[in-house]
């Protein structure tokens, strides 16, 4: 079996051909394969920006490349190589620290080193969720069980799960973090291979289950059933369960009342979007590396302009910092305005439609109007998907851009691509290719965009 280092070298050779030269040099050339354990391939990169950028932008392509090379399904994690152990969190660990041998290193890296309690900015909007997370991390299984945290996207749910993971593993417990999507994928695979018992047994001996985005399972009956069993088994053994979702259990309509009441049986807390002061504090905490002499002014403007969620705040900061670094200029209140305004201007949408149409060798009129042959329909669905992913356009905005189509049609197109993407490498390659084209047309500005 080749080492992670060698496998990653092969992957880099393949990736080099598929991404633009600038992107390769900036984000990939200094990366290294660190380990591959339990089907998680860990890649170390020199900076937080690279880790963020790669996770946001190249994850599907990198994963696919590694899956092709290794001939099996694996997940990829990008971690920052600080040449040191991730910072220890909270109270002094009970056990003396492990010796940094390969297995303990891999276990530690499962949790994002940045997602710690120390790095979480506490405010009124998230105080309860934070306090509950600290409580269950310090006294797992004995206070709130399950702990259920819900919020809209980008408000720190995953961050808190990882923080619990850090603290509990430092205290010598076995904590497992899994997204509902991973759980569903693994379950489907286990069913196919007649290995459901083996799959379930993976969870049997853990002390803490950190289950992210449970809403993903809402319409997956069989997987839910399996989750329910796993949940009950752990719960009955006093193991701590922490679950996140985009809404409260009571609002998950199709869930059985039995499961709902299970999920509600401990403590349910929500996280609200941060107010201006909190946004500013988060930016202050994250802006250490920003090259500017007018930091406070710059941060004020970002906090004012970017309101929706913390992920976007970070995105704006990463983008501006990268911009400053690459161009060697300083970010000032003036440049910031220019950079952050009109992130999804008509111009951007026009460019996107044009690029998609060109890719399929059709005209933008055909893309927008009624033509319904297979090729044009696919192109239209991809355009919908990219508008939503890259520019966060609402369904009705997209409908308007595409000749007045209704909300349901747009949603159908988006969901079709989103659901096919993970199973259809051909489609995913095509989309990556179009994204690359859009990126190269838009220069470094795209660091801020998902496209
Ligand atoms: P969610 O899981 O709710 O969608 P994440 O946990 O992925 O959100 O958070 C998105 C990004 O914002 C992460 O990089 C996370 O570290 C950061 N973040 C969110 N809330 C906070 C906070 N209160 N303090 C510091 N960083 C935060
Ligand atoms: Mg999350």
57 in a structural domain: yes
Point out the domain boundary residue: 229, 255, 270. 270
Condensed to tens digits (0 to 9), the pLDDT of residues 178-209 reads: 989 888 888 888 888 888 988 998 898 899 99
- Which tokens belong to 197? 């018992």
- Report the percentage of the chain scoring pLDDT > 90: 35
Q: What is the CATH number of the domain that holds 293?
A: 1.10.8
Please state the rounded mean pLDDT for residues 111-127: 90
Residue-averaged pLDDT of the chain: 81
- The sign of the dihedral angle between the CA atoms of 381, 387, 390, 392 is negative
Is 102 contained in some domain?
no
Q: Identify the domain containing residue 323 by its residue range.
A: 276-342
CA of 157 to the centre of ligand 1 (A): 7
Does the pLDDT value for residue 85 go beyond 80? no
Q: How far is the CA of 374 from the centre of ligand 2 (A)?
A: 35
Residue 78 and residue 146 in one domain: no
Residue 451 lies in a domain: no
Residue 332 shares a structural domain with residue 357: no
- CATH value at residue 244: 3.40.50.300
The conformation of residue 279, written as its DSSP 8-state character, comes to H
Residue 265 corresponds to which tokens in the numbers above?
């049986």
Pairwise pLDDT comparison (95 vs 308), residue with the higher score: 308
Domain count, the chain: 4
Q: Which residues are 76's β-sheet partners?
A: 41
CA of 332 to the centre of ligand 1 (A): 25
Residue 110 located in a structural domain: no
In a domain, 112, yes or no: no
Claim to verify: residue 49 and residue 78 sit in the same structural domain: yes
Q: Is residue 120 in some structural domain?
A: no
Per-residue DSSP letter, 272: P
Q: Is the pLDDT of residue 314 over 50?
A: yes
Q: Which of 270, 295, 314 is the last residue of a domain?
A: 270
Burial 151-187 (b: 16+ CB within 10 A, else e): beebbbbbbbbbbbbbbbbbbebebbbbbbebbbbbb
Q: What is the mean pLDDT of residues 98-123?
A: 63
250, 162: one domain: yes
User: Are both 153 and 253 inside the same structural domain?
Assistant: yes
Most confident of 53-67, 186-200, 366-380: 366-380
What's the Cα-to-Cα distance from 86 to each of 79, 210, 315, rounded to whole Å?
A: 10, 19, 23
Does 147 or 290 have the greater pLDDT score?
Answer: 147
Residue at a domain's end among 319, 342, 365 = 342
C-alpha–C-alpha distance, residues 173 and 186, integer Å: 23
The region of weakest confidence among 73-87, 304-318, 390-404 is 73-87
Please indicate whether residue 220 or residue 345 has the higher confidence score (pLDDT). Answer: 220
CB 119 within 8 A of CB 285: yes
CATH number at residue 71: 3.30.300.180
Q: Which atom of ligand 1 is nearest to the CA of 152?
A: 3
Mean local confidence (pLDDT), 371-400: 87
Q: Are residues 198 and 262 in the same domain?
A: yes
* Same domain flag for 350 and 385: yes
* Ligand 1 pocket, mutate which of 310, 314, 317, 318 (most atoms under 8 A from CB): 310
Tell me if 164 sits within 8 A of 242, measured CB to CB.
Answer: yes
Q: Which of 63-77, 196-210, 243-257, 328-342 has the lowest mean pLDDT?
A: 328-342
pLDDT for 238:
92
pLDDT in tens, 426-437: 898 899 888 877
Indicate the DSSP class of residue 250. Answer: G
Ligand 1: which of 154, 160, 306 to mutate, judged by most atoms within 8 Å of the beta carbon? 154
C-beta separation of 170 from 205 below 8 A: no
Q: What residue ranges line ligand 1, CB within 6 angstroms?
A: 115, 119-121, 126, 151, 153-159, 282, 310-311, 314
């Amino acid at each position: 079996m080749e080492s992670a280092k060698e496998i990653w070298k092969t992957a880099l050779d393949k990736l080099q051909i598929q991404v633009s030269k600038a992107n390769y040099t900036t984000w990939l050339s200094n990366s290294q394969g660190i380990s591959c354990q339990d089907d998680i391939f860990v890649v170390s990169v020199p900076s937080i920006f690279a880790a963020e950028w790669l996770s946001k932008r190249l994850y599907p392509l990198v994963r696919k490349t590694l899956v092709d090379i290794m001939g099996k399904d694996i997940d990829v994690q990008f971690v920052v190589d600080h040449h040191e152990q991730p910072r220890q969190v909270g109270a002094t660990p009970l056990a003396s620290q492990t010796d940094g041998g390969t297995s303990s290193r891999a276990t530690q890296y499962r949790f994002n080193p940045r997602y710690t309690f120390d790095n979480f900015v506490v405010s009124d909007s998230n105080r309860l969720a934070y306090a509950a997370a600290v409580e269950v991390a310090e006294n797992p299984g004995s206070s709130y069980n399950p702990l259920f945290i819900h919020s809209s996207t980008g408000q720190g749910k995953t961050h808190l799960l990882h923080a619990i993971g850090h603290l509990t593993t430092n205290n010598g417990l076995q904590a497992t973090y899994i997204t509902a999507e991973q759980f569903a994928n693994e379950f489907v695979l286990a069913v196919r291979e007649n290995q459901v018992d083996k799959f379930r047994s993976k969870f049997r001996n853990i002390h803490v289950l950190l289950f992210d985005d449970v809403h993903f399972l809402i319409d997956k009956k069989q997987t839910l059933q399996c989750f329910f069993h796993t949940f009950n088994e752990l719960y009955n053994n006093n193991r701590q369960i922490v679950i996140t979702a985009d809404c409260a259990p009571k609002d998950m309509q199709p869930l059985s009342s039995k499961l709902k009441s299970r999920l509600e049986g401990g403590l349910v807390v929500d996280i609200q979007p941060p107010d201006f002061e909190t946004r500013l504090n988060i930016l202050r905490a994250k802006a250490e590396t920003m090259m500017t002499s007018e930091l406070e002014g710059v941060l004020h403007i970002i906090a004012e302009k970017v309101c929706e969620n913390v992920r976007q705040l970070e995105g704006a900061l990463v983008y501006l910092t990268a911009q400053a670094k690459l161009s060697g200029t300083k970010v000032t209140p003036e440049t910031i305005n220019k950079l952050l305004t009109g992130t999804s201007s008509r111009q951007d949408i026009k460019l996107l439609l044009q690029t998609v149409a060109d890719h399929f060798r059709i005209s933008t009129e055909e893309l927008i109007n009624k033509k319904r042959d297979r090729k044009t329909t696919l192109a239209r669905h991809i355009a919908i998907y990219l508008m939503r992913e890259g520019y966060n356009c609402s369904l009705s905005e997209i409908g308007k851009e595409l000749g007045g189509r209704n909300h349901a049609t747009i949603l159908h197109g988006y969901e079709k691509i989103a659901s096919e993407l993970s199973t259809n490498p051909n489609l995913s390659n095509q989309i990556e290719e179009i994204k690359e084209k859009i990126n190269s047309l838009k220069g470094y500005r795209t660091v801020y965009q998902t496209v």
